[in-house]
Structure 1
Amino acid sequence: MRVDLGNALDSVASPGVSRDALSRLDERVADAHERIETGRADDEHGYAALNLPETTDTDEIRSAVEPFADAETVLTVGIGGSALGAATLANGLDSDVDAYFLDNVDPEHVSALLDRLSLSDTAVNVVSRSGTTAETLANFLVVRDAMESANVDWTDRTFVTTGEEGNLRNLADRHDLPALDVPDGVPGRFSMLSTVGLACAAIQGHDIDAVLDGAHAEADRLAGSLFESPAYAYGAATYALDERGAGINAMMPYAESLETFAEWFAQLWAESLGKDGLGQTPVRALGATDQHSQLQLYRAGPSDKMVTFVRPTERADRSIPETDLPGLEYLGGGSLGSLLSAEFEATEASLAASGQPNVRLEIDRVDEYGLGELCYCLEAACVLAGELYSVETFVQPAVEWGKRAARGLLGGGNFEEADEVAEKSTLTVE
């Protein structure tokens, strides 16, 4: 895992950060690292997430999913951190077992997906720490009904990942369903490297030990200096750039398989750091696609953004046939990989030429080890940034407000937040 901050320096970009400023910030990084290490040693809430490469029991995961070895499809029913980590791995890696995710309650989408699945060949994983998440349980009730309508014994095709108590735990106990425990002290958005994110990968046949090995390699590189740790280099640089006006962070991987990774990053960054009027706004992009849809703004719009490029340095390639079409001779005989690399380097250079800050993250390959490296690195970067901002990284009170309001509107209890919905101001044009 490599992080290049060259195009974030003030000699290149505005806003930018000087080398001297980074050196001064490094003193605060050292203090933050000490706090992080104390939290890890004590398995404190949130900080425990950074211990998952060591504490996750992969044998337990493989044992729980063994009854579903015949599955041709795995359907994860969850939302937010209960689905995005697993989806990042599933969409980043190839498998003969298809993976789908019900992480929204759009009725048309849910119906269309269930209509095309062979439910008798599908393993269903219902994921909710509390076991009370409205969207997850509603979708599961719909899935269970669809299985019963298709004469499929849902108890043979379902397992749960949940906390020690709650509706899902009670369901698992009542029907003797396989169950995995959500790890204590690990918020959902930090749970990819646990039972939450790895069960789907295990059913798909991926090497979940290699995922943790990659993460462990990055954990070993955490040190008291941003100049010694890629994770801290990224976390400190994003914080410094935000302080200087780059309040938007466009995550732009140059690999189609990493598109879901950008979604995972958006939740990690927004939900962890968006507090007390602080935090960068994450934006999802995809290279080279969004060179043709977003780059105009990043290069020539307001100077309030940074772009984070992610790319693997090794990948499978495909040649471009020779051609005699006028003007296209330069493409013939080349390869799609060479074209994508040229697009990457040109986009990076174009932002630097216009003074827009950007940072490059590189892994060797998009494989289990590489994804473990990349995602752990960004989790640690996020924790460090939270320390520098002095925010409560591991809570999400604004999200909980909306959950209470929705539950009240649905008759799930008396919540004052639901009363405020009726007070909405309107200005309707028809």
Structure 2
Amino acid sequence: MKADIGNALDGALGLDRAALDDLDERVADAHERIAGGRRESEHGYAALSLPETCDPEPIRRAAAGFDPETVLTVGIGGSALGAATVTDALDSPVDARYLDNVDPAWVRDLVADLDLSETVVNVVSRSGTTAETLANFLVVREAMESAGVDWTERTVVTTGPEGNLRSMAETHDLPALDVPDGVPGRFSALSTVGLFAAAVAGHDLDELLAGAASEAGKLSGSLYDSPGYAYGAVSYALGERGAAVNAMMPYAESLERFAEWYAQLWAESLGKDGRGQTPARALGATDQHSQLQLYRAGPADKLVTLVRPLESPDTGIPETDLSGLEYLGGSTLGDLLDAEFRATEASLAAAGRENVRLEIDRVDERGLGELLYAMEAACVVYGELADVSTFTQPAVEWGKKAARGLLGGGEFEEAEAVRGKRRLEVE
């Protein structure tokens, strides 16, 4: 993967090369802390060792007994988004679906749309007690039973060493994959959590991990040697100068879910102690016709991240005699998308609005491995530079306790705060 940070310099927020060179000294210190955390397999830092520590064989064995039409992942947040990013990006004969919300109408319609006799279910929760995941799984299990499908023959569990899911797997002799120690869910795409659906869909897990390993090998004491560190350091430096928003804008329809994965990674990891950036999700070229207006002419408080593959399948544009459109004939949709990409980049730069270009060779297993790993490394180095607790999520845990208390799952003061909501209603 390559990161071009040239357009992040000398813009409206005032980051210049001298300041970036000064920051590079702090990146060297951050790298030492990260490298030490990886060596000791410390919580969170262990995620950056997954290219070496993740063994794909158990994942392949768990997937080998199935030849389904659909693989349905039941999880939420990091328990689903990594897998969805990979399967959405890659062509596959298997339909990969995700139950990652508890909107009742949506869940009902999704489950009703499946041939459950041709579906393999992967239920994913480290604790084995995640309310949304367990509730959705119970709905799916009941639907299987009602359809005369033996759910125990079509369910794989991915979970920690204890909890309801582990007990269920042992009771019913279900295939069970272990969630890796020390890896928060949002950093788990390149592990058992994120790779089962890809394995069922026939994707090359070795190439995914090899792509990640190639980026891991670039981590060093300088941001100028590592695309991941370069992106993380520049994002941090601009954030400190007022870039409160980071707009992730891939120029590939297949990477739209990647932007969603990135948003969770960036927000949950870095939104601490009044620090961090708000991730915005955009899609090139679609959102050039809407969001670009704000990014170029609105408040100078954003970094725009442009992502693209250098190679992709292409489609020719037919010749036309329509007045004013003759220039399109004989070119390709790829040519048009490339022109749109470069025009957006130049438009932002001309207005002094900071942007970064990230490029992979192709949207394939290796390219995705590179991209996912580089963004995780970027997030970790940002957290080190900002001195935030990158691998915790206390605000998320507060909401979980509040919801559980409201449902009668225990006594939690957070639930009382919900009940005490201030109201000022207008009808």
Which range, TM-score by smaller chain? over 0.9
CA shift digits 1:138-167 (9 cap, x unpaired): 000000000011100000000100000000
TM-aligned CA deviation for residue 333 of structure 1? 1.1
Q: Which residue of 1 aligns with 2:23?
A: 25
Aligned residues of 1:16 and 1:357 also touching (Cα < 8 A): no
Q: 8 Å contact 1:231–1:381 — kept in the other structure?
A: yes
How far does residue 355 in structure 1 lie from its aligned partner after superposition?
Answer: 0.7
Q: Which residue of structure 2 lines up, in the alignment, with residue 7 of structure 1? A: 7
Q: Which whole-Å deviations, capped at 9, do the CAs of 1:60-97 have from their partners, x for residues lacking one? A: 110111121x1110000000000000000010000000
CA distance in 2, matches of 1:295, 1:235: 23
Task: Give the whole-Å Cα distance in 2 for the aligned partners of 1:189 and 1:116.
Answer: 28
What is the TM-score with the length of structure 2 in the denominator? 1.00
Match of 1:82 in 2: 79
**Consecutive unaligned residues in structure 1, runs of 5 or more:** none
Aligned to 1:413: 410
Aligned equivalents of 1:93, 1:172: Cα separation in 2 = 30
Aligned to 1:203: 200
2:210 alignment partner in structure 1: 213
Root mean square deviation of aligned Cα: 0.5
Deviation, 1:14, is: 0.7
Which runs of 4 or more aligned residues in structure 1 lie more than 2 Å from their structure 2 counterparts after TM superposition? none
Partner of 2:361: 364
Contact 1:53 1:212 in 2 (8 A): yes
**Counterpart for residue 293 of structure 2:** 296
Alignment of 1:313-328 (within 5 A): 313-328=310-325
Quote the Cα distance in structure 1 between the aligned partners of 2:228 and 2:303: 17
Structure 2 distance, partners of 1:107, 1:149, is: 18
In 2, the alpha carbon distance for the partners of 1:193 and 1:409 equals 35
Paired residue type of 1:38: G
State the Cα distance separating 1:424 from its structure 2 match.
0.7
Partner of 2:69: 72
Residue 261 of structure 1 is aligned with which of 258, 261, 268? 258
Residue 424 of structure 1 aligns with which residue? Answer: 421
Offset, 1:35? 0.3
Aligned to 1:341: 338
Q: 2:136 aligns with which of 126, 139, 143?
A: 139
Return the offset for 1:116.
1.1
Q: Does 1:281 align with 2:278?
A: yes
| Cα distance between partner residues in 2 of 1:229 and 1:67 | 40
1:113 — aligned with what? 110
Amino acid at match of 1:319: G
In structure 2, what residue type is equivalent to 1:81?
G
Query: 1:84–1:264: 8 Å Cα contact kept in structure 2?
Result: yes
Match of 2:246?
249
Q: CA deviation at 1:16?
A: 3.5
Residue 54 of structure 1: CA displacement?
A: 0.4
Matched with 1:96 is: 93
2:221 is matched with: 224
Task: Give 3-state SS (helix, strand or coil) of 1:227's partner.
Answer: helix
Partner of 2:150: 153
Aligned length: 427
Q: Deviations over 1:327-350 (max 9, x none)?
A: 111111110000000000001100
Query: TM-score, normalising length from structure 1?
Result: 0.99
**Does structure 2 retain, via aligned residues, the 8 Å contact 1:8–1:16?**
no
Could you say which residue in structure 1 is the equivalent of 2:381? 384
